[in-house]
Structure 1
Amino acid sequence: MTRSSVHEEGTRPGDAPRRPGGRPDADGDDVAGRPGGLRPGGRGRRALRWSATTLAVLILGTAGAGYLYYEHLNDNLVKGERSSGDSKARRTGANAAGQTPLNILLIGSDSRASDANVALGGSRDNRGNPPLGDVQMLIHLAADRESAAVVSIPRDTRVDIPQCTDPGSGKTYPAVNDIINTSLSRGGAGCTLATWENLTGVYIDHWMTIDFAGVVRMADAVGGVEVCVNQNVWDRPLPGVPGGSGLKLKAGSTEVEGEQALQWLRTRHAWGSDVLRTRAQRMYMNSMIRTLRDQNVFTDTGRLTDLAEAATRSLQVSEEIGSVKKLYDLGMQLKTVPPDRITMTTLPTVEDPQNRNHLLPAGAGAERMWAMLRDDVSFDGKGGVRNAKKTADDDRAASKDPAAPDGEIGVLVRNATRSAALGPVGGRAGAIAQALVAKGFTRAAPDTTAAVAEERTVVRYPGAELQGDAQRVARALKIPLGSVKRSSDVSGVTLVVGADWREGTAYPKQAPPRAGDLPKDADALNGAETGRCMDVYEPYRW
């Protein structure tokens, strides 16, 4: 990636504040986490990338008159392939009004492919290394465009990364189980998108990335954004604790911009932990959104031009939105959501038993968030049940081609009960195959290959001629027809038993997710929240 960017985010609830005496990481930042524990990453630049990428999207909505330099701005944009990996996610069906949700993946990498990025990111010995996607956020815009949700995944979260092919070099990388930030180096942003799709089951429409230099451009273009601290803060090196962002503010509210905004977003020592740094980033983001909404850019041609110029020079985007007009349309959709209907969260995680410095999605809590996104249920609790008629959807999905007699339908049953947090349940394929045989599907048989991982049970079929057969199998087991998917990865009807069906031979009835029913450890922050100030860890007060 020639432009990647926003660094940080890889924090988690429960991280212990790092005190003087901690070890610095490769960039001179103190390593967060438990005493003696090495948390890879912790680079402050991630913070700025995290904010600036979303900022660029917002600006394109706010500064729609960027048509002033239409061709020039189009030339600024760098484009890439939407997906470069093996993904099975499918678009969410339309609601009763015919509307569909929109999902955008924002990626920030630690690329040091230019002098500017090396100067901003440090770690000169890493120049030329494949970039890592150290900040990854999914923006979900509801089908009715009345609410939005943002979910971040910490960079050190271990997940299944699918087979990906780098669109530039043509090199194919095999599937691997590794921390999610490595996906960017295994096929670019399109591989990170495919990784997210397989993890969440959510179809992602677009991706965007931004680099260190782009972050600085965006911070300068926006101007002053109000932040607040409860005590005087100076994030500086202390004995035994090198690094620090250099942020120095007096207690109370201050407008920061440019380099000072970068310092705010990089600061960790003075807050006491990575999880608190994440909170500071969100406070900045919320304030920035309100600032942009209050600015009268439509009547200020010079300001409008500066914002549009910075945005198009700072972003790399997936090719299907690779024009100013398409980005403008996208930005206008995002702009319609009021701040009080924007909910920012972090994926609930648990410690990885294989490596205490890594994380795993927190089982039921993580799946609840993914289900809310898949079913387009609002995070803020102000929306009701998704305005869709599931029965009607199932009727529309039903095949017009009749199924073969049960005894003539070949069914391969695959065990995919392994999840990021839990190992596979042995014997599941055999147990469900036997249950199918008992129901008259005498040609059902278990797949003897290694267990795979799927969060949700799905019935796959290769072509239209087998759609009716696949749906007949689903009905026999009371699996929703929405879970019957066409796929080129199978040669016949294949029942993939997911992590949502770890026991029993009757498919468990899935309670629909409720609006606002977020896990407690999602650390949700409302976009309209004001008046919050950061507490400063005592050694960094002055």
Structure 2
Amino acid sequence: MTRSSLHGEEPAVEGATALAVQDGGAAGDHDPHNKGDKKGENREKGEKGDDGDIEHEVAGRRPRRRILRWSATVLSLVILATAGAGYFYYQHLNSNLRKGQRSSGDFKAHRTKPNPAGQTPLNILLIGSDSRNSDENVALGGSRENRGNPPLGDVQMLIHLSADRKSAAVVSVPRDTRVDIPQCTDPDTGKVYPPVNTIINESLARGGAGCTLATWENLTGVYIDHWMMIDFAGVVRMADAIGGVEVCVKHNVWDRNLQTQRGGSGLKLTAGKHKVKGKQALQWLRTRHAFHSDLGRARAQHMYMNSMIRMLRGQNVFTDTGRLMGLAEAATQSLQVSEEIGTVKKLYDLAMQLKTVPTDRITMATMPNVTDPQNPNHVIPDGANAAKMWKMLREDVAFDKNGPKTEAKKPSEDETPATPSVAADRLGVLVQNATRTSTRAPVSGRAGEISRQLRRKGFTRATADTSAAGSAEETVVRYPSADLEGDARSVAKALGIPMSSVKRSTDVSGVTVVVGADWRTGVTYPKESAPKAGDLPENSDALNGSDESQCMDVYEPYRW
């Protein structure tokens, strides 16, 4: 037990003693436990020492002790004040964040299985809202007549971070893509919106960002961990905080009203490279007509993001406290996020994970698409090419070819052996036709055709589901509980379905075969080669993050 605890002295004295020793004083002069130093004891008691000079000793020691005690007290207060300020600032940043429900719609996507190291990919949906529900947004986005209307999700990008955190992909879906939007419930009002087939940007108005997330999951089959949403004003704040991003145009551009085309972002630049920030950055990200179409706008957005990443890396912003605080303030004021990442710490942790990816392992792409036969102003997913991109995301296959050249491991059907619980002729199997897509009608009779094939294989209790055809990109075999895993695997084996497509699900009450859009003909599942790194469809408009030569073409009517 220390002397200060015995006599009830303030802890600061003990700290002052330690400081005095460090300051060069003799240990014996300041150690209250040094019993061999009689002079020290006499001096502390105010008695005469050998030289009889009491006044000298008192005058020499007491002021110094008071100074040290005062210094230690002040230091403690400074530390406490700094810590308190940091805590209150952290709470301030957290209070800036607006949060919402992760998903508000029906979905059936499942997480990707961990890799051999136990890691899983991370998927984040980034939504750009066209909300005009504030003076600031109306001033930036125009269209005052839309004030008060539910916002639309005009920009939608999926950020995919690989399980090993060594590569990343960003995929845009054009706002006018016709898709199936599932049933969604508005988390604020409780209003239920029925499923509908329409353009994807309307999903935001039918249950918020959580409905857009559910729409993406149904479109891609990719499990999405989080969403982030930003509006016009937020883009301007973030662009200012970043300090400007370099962009490039091949010609003088002025995106404005024309006699033949109304609207325009107002972007006006001369040919060449420019650093855009604030409102001008928003104009760049919103420009559509001058960049030919929504597809051109997506490409311009990808160029902006690649350039921004290169700039932030070059400035090493994560070690610059002032810049980092400015970005944190702007980000928390600008972003709305799904509730499970609704703290500054969690957002910072996400940023640190994204920061580890080299720029030459970042790929920006657009969903392969074709013109919608129902409306020439809309697009639809490009069948097999879009399905290939979604498969690469689900299986965590890199979009670039710059990773280590390793041979892909072939999945083994015996890695997780499971024994059927009953004989094949006693197992009830339901077969569902889910060959319908947002762009193609279902193939009639598929459930009956596959159930008959199963009966020929010995599963005599297999039956076809006669309810309305569903929608699934890929064929799966679902089972509800662990005791039926072996049965589900035996059904998959009989049909040639890969074991990776056998999924446990609470959406079914027994073994269920869901015949997806990838199996529209035949009774044996078509074998597909595993996707390879960098093997993207040609019409995915892929851009590599390290490519600094990117420059936008300008549609001729908007040149000046």
Alignment TM class, shorter chain as reference: 0.7 to 0.9
In structure 1, the residue matched to 2:462 is 444
CA contact (8 A) 1:416 1:451 kept: yes
Does residue 140 of structure 1 match 2:160? yes
Aligned residue for 1:494, secondary structure, equals strand
In structure 2, the residue matched to 1:129 is 149
In structure 2, the residue matched to 1:87 is 107
Distance 1:107 1:354 in 2: 26
Does residue 339 of structure 1 match 2:359? yes
Amino acid at match of 1:181: N
In structure 2, the residue matched to 1:415 is 433
Question: Aligned to 1:457, which of 466, 475, 478?
Answer: 475
Distance 2:495 2:557 in 1: 61
Query: Could you list the per-position Cα deviations for residues 467-486 of structure 1 after superposition, in whole angstroms to 9, with x for gaps in the alignment?
Result: 33222211222222222222
The 5 Å alignment of 1:50-61 reads none
Amino acid at match of 2:146: N
Name whichever of 472-481 and 345-354 sits farther off.
Answer: 472-481
CA contact (8 A) 1:67 1:324 kept: no
In structure 2, the residue matched to 1:428 is 446
In structure 1, the residue matched to 2:129 is 109
Distance 2:385 2:474 in 1: 14
Amino acid at match of 2:432: R
Distance 2:99 2:385 in 1: 35
Aligned residue for 1:495, secondary structure, equals strand
Distance 1:159 1:190 in 2: 16
Question: Aligned to 2:512, which of 467, 490, 494?
Answer: 494
How many angstroms does 1:218 deviate by?
A: 0.6
Alignment CA distance shift 1:108-1:101 (3 Å):
same
Runs of 4+ in 1 over 4 A off after TM superposition: 238-242, 384-389
Distance 1:270 1:489 in 2: 47
How many angstroms does 1:534 deviate by?
A: 2.8
Query: Could you list the per-position Cα deviations for residues 133-153 of structure 1 after superposition, in whole angstroms to 9, with x for gaps in the alignment?
Result: 121111111111111111111
Q: Which has the higher helix share?
A: 2
Distance 2:544 2:452 in 1: 49
Distance 2:114 2:409 in 1: 7
CA contact (8 A) 1:147 1:341 kept: yes
Query: Could you list the per-position Cα deviations for residues 475-503 of structure 1 after superposition, in whole angstroms to 9, with x for gaps in the alignment?
Result: 22222222222223222221111111111
Question: Aligned to 1:516, which of 531, 534, 538?
Answer: 534
Alignment CA distance shift 1:221-1:442 (3 Å):
same
In structure 2, the residue matched to 1:192 is 212
How many angstroms does 1:387 deviate by?
A: 5.9
Distance 1:180 1:268 in 2: 17
Distance 1:173 1:243 in 2: 31
In structure 2, the residue matched to 1:505 is 523
How many angstroms does 1:281 deviate by?
A: 2.4
How many angstroms does 1:219 deviate by?
A: 1.0
Distance 2:123 2:259 in 1: 45
How many angstroms does 1:120 deviate by?
A: 1.5
In structure 2, the residue matched to 1:466 is 484
Aligned residue for 2:522, secondary structure, equals coil
Structure 2, unaligned stretches of length 5 or more? 1-85
Structure 1, unaligned stretches of length 5 or more? 1-65
The 5 Å alignment of 1:84-483 reads 84-298=104-318, 300-383=320-403, 390-391=411-412, 395-396=415-416, 398-399=417-418, 402-483=420-501
Amino acid at match of 2:525: Y
The 5 Å alignment of 1:54-73 reads 69-73=89-93
Distance 2:290 2:211 in 1: 35
Amino acid at match of 1:168: D
RMSD between aligned alpha carbons? 2.1
Aligned residue for 1:253, secondary structure, equals strand
Aligned residue for 2:539, secondary structure, equals helix
Alignment CA distance shift 1:475-1:295 (3 Å):
same
Distance 2:526 2:87 in 1: 53
Alignment CA distance shift 1:304-1:195 (3 Å):
same
Amino acid at match of 1:474: A
CA contact (8 A) 1:96 1:389 kept: no
CA contact (8 A) 1:95 1:388 kept: no
Aligned residue for 1:499, secondary structure, equals coil
**What is the TM-score of this pair, normalised by structure 2?**
0.80
Alignment CA distance shift 1:508-1:110 (3 Å):
same
Distance 2:245 2:485 in 1: 54
Aligned residue for 2:131, secondary structure, equals coil
May I ask how many residue pairs the two structures share in their alignment? 474
CA contact (8 A) 1:183 1:192 kept: yes
How many angstroms does 1:338 deviate by?
A: 1.1
CA contact (8 A) 1:362 1:421 kept: no
CA contact (8 A) 2:178 2:378 kept: yes
How many angstroms does 1:131 deviate by?
A: 1.6
Amino acid at match of 2:363: T
How many angstroms does 1:531 deviate by?
A: 2.4
CA contact (8 A) 2:174 2:298 kept: no
Distance 2:555 2:489 in 1: 59
Distance 2:407 2:437 in 1: 27
How many angstroms does 1:358 deviate by?
A: 2.0
Distance 2:294 2:420 in 1: 56
Alignment CA distance shift 1:167-1:271 (3 Å):
closer
Aligned residue for 2:128, secondary structure, equals strand
Query: Could you list the per-position Cα deviations for residues 4-48 of structure 1 after superposition, in whole angstroms to 9, with x for gaps in the alignment?
Result: xxxxxxxxxxxxxxxxxxxxxxxxxxxxxxxxxxxxxxxxxxxxx
Q: Please identify the structure whose Cα radius of gyration is greater.
A: 2
How many angstroms does 1:541 deviate by?
A: 3.8
The percent of aligned pairs where both chains have the same amino acid is: 72
Alignment CA distance shift 1:385-1:433 (3 Å):
farther
Aligned residue for 2:412, secondary structure, equals helix
CA contact (8 A) 2:99 2:339 kept: yes
CA contact (8 A) 1:413 1:496 kept: yes
Distance 1:395 1:522 in 2: 35
Distance 1:294 1:457 in 2: 45
